[in-house]
């Protein structure tokens, strides 16, 4: 590999990994779901299309809803002055 391209390629990989990992919030997701009565929560990771424009993080999940049915969805959380929203 050309030595001049190597730092640029590494920088892109670091940016990609940071964005993918930095756009989820597992603890806030678990807290929001527990507050709404969901159980058996499994975090599925970043969910690009499930949340709104004003959400800083968007974390996918599967769980059992308060009525006892299995559901899948996402929890979007804002950065400042916006609580988390459960979408399923």
What is the tally of structural domains in the chain? 1
- Give, as one character, the DSSP assignment of residue 79: S
Burial of 85 (0-12, 13-18, 19+ CB in 10 A): middle
Per-residue confidence band for 7, with pLDDT thresholds at 50, 70 and 90: confident
Host domain of residue 75: 6-87
Q: Are strands 57-64 and 70-77 parallel, antiparallel or unpaired?
A: antiparallel
Task: Please tell me the pTM assigned to this model.
Answer: 0.74
Give the sheet arrangement for strand 70-77, strand by strand. 39-46, 57-64, 70-77, 84-87
How high is the pLDDT of residue 30? 97
Length of the chain: 88
Q: Examine residue 24 and state whether it is found in any structural domain, yes or no.
A: yes
Q: Examine residue 1 and state whether it is found in any structural domain, yes or no.
A: no
Per-residue confidence band for 53, with pLDDT thresholds at 50, 70 and 90: confident
Six-digit token pair at 37? 């009565």
Q: Examine residue 41 and state whether it is found in any structural domain, yes or no.
A: yes
């Amino acid at each position: 590999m050309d030595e001049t391209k190597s730092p640029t390629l590494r920088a892109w990989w670091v940016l990609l990994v940071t964005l993918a990992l930095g756009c989820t919030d597992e603890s806030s997701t678990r807290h929001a779901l527990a507050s709404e009565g969901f159980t058996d929560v499994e975090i599925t990771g970043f969910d690009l299309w499930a949340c709104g424009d004003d959400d800083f993080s968007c974390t996918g999940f599967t769980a059992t809803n308060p009525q006892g049915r299995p559901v899948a969805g996402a929890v979007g959380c804002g950065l400042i002055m916006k609580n988390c929203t459960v979408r399923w």
